[in-house]
Homo-oligomer: A and B are copies of this chain.
Amino acid sequence: MGQLTLTIFNEFIHEQKDDLVKKIYPKGMHETIAEYMRKEPGFQVKTATLEMPDHGLKEEVLNSTDVLMWWGHIAHDQVRDEIVDRVQARVLDGMGLIVMHSGHFSKIFRRLMGTSCGLCWREAAERERLWVLNPNHPITQGLGPYIELPNAEMYGEQFDIPDPDELLFISWFEGGEVFRSGAVWHRGKGKIFYFRPGHESYPIFHNTEVLKVLTNAVRWAKFSGNSETKGIGNCFHIKEPLETLSEKGHE
């Protein structure tokens, strides 16, 4: 249970404009999540929002962040490309990234996936059941066979993502759809987890099972390798061969 620095980004717009959302998340979803995470042993927690300079994601913040959580919905296009470049570079260099719910359409997730990240959706406060596929993954520890959410926005296939490195959750929706609702990828030296729950108008970030998954994911996403490793994120010229070459070369 080592130390880690977690930064939680939230566009923080619904909570300031919509009374229903404000009631559920008075200080914003980022603060609800942060309050929970601050109790985890070894976690240093920061928050960042769209309205802050550089959206709260200055170089020095990102450079000291082990894992970044991302929530956005109606203001994806207000995130500056320069900051997206910066976040992508840090992920490829080993920062973990956890993308929540409508963050599927964020610039940073689309950038890292290379696809549209489109999906089908419906907002009808329907029941969702997230089935666990692999109980032996760090992210699913402490769960039963499924998580049930009484009221959720529906997301349905086809979810336009690259095949995940591992699919961890599949959701069932009352209205008739299914969705790959929890999946992991690695990109460069970084680990990425997408987790579907989290609509602003439902108290999903008060759900302890959802928070449990997110906590597990933060621990999992922290870079654990050799940070000196070359060749990931750069192009290197190896002038001298490791072996002696034969004399048959062209010219």
**A residues bordering B, Cβ < 8 Å?**
88, 92, 94, 105, 111-116, 118-122, 124-127, 129, 131-138, 140-145, 150-151, 154, 156-160, 162-163, 165-167, 170-178, 180, 185-191, 201-202, 223-226, 229-246, 248-251
Contacts and interface: CB of A to CB of B under 8 A. Distances in A.
A141 B246 contact: no
A144 B226 contact: yes
Nearest to A137: B225
Given A189-B135, A234-B116, A249 B125 contact: yes
A157 B170 contact: yes
Contact of A166 (B116, B165, B174): B165
14 contacts: A114-B114, A115-B187, A116-B188, A118-B233, A121-B235, A136-B224, A144-B226, A145-B157, A150-B248, A158-B231, A158-B232, A159-B231, A162-B185, A171-B178
Contacts of A250: 125, 150-151, 201-202
A6 B237 CA distance: 33
A229 B131 CA distance: 12
B242 A142 contact: no
A145 B92 contact: no
Q: Is the interface of A mostly helix, strand, loop or mixed?
A: loop
A226 B129 contact: no
A166 B187 CA distance: 13
Given A231-B157, A235-B118, A235-B121, A245 B162 contact: no
Given A132-B158, A133-B158, A248-B150, A177 B167 contact: no
Contact of A243 (B115, B174, B178): B174
A233 B160 contact: yes
Given A160-B92, A191-B136, A174 B245 contact: yes
Contact of A162 (B170, B178, B187, B234): B187
A160 to B, nearest CB: 5
A201 B251 CA distance: 10
A241 B176 contact: yes
B121 A229 contact: no
Nearest to A111: B114
B231 A118 contact: yes
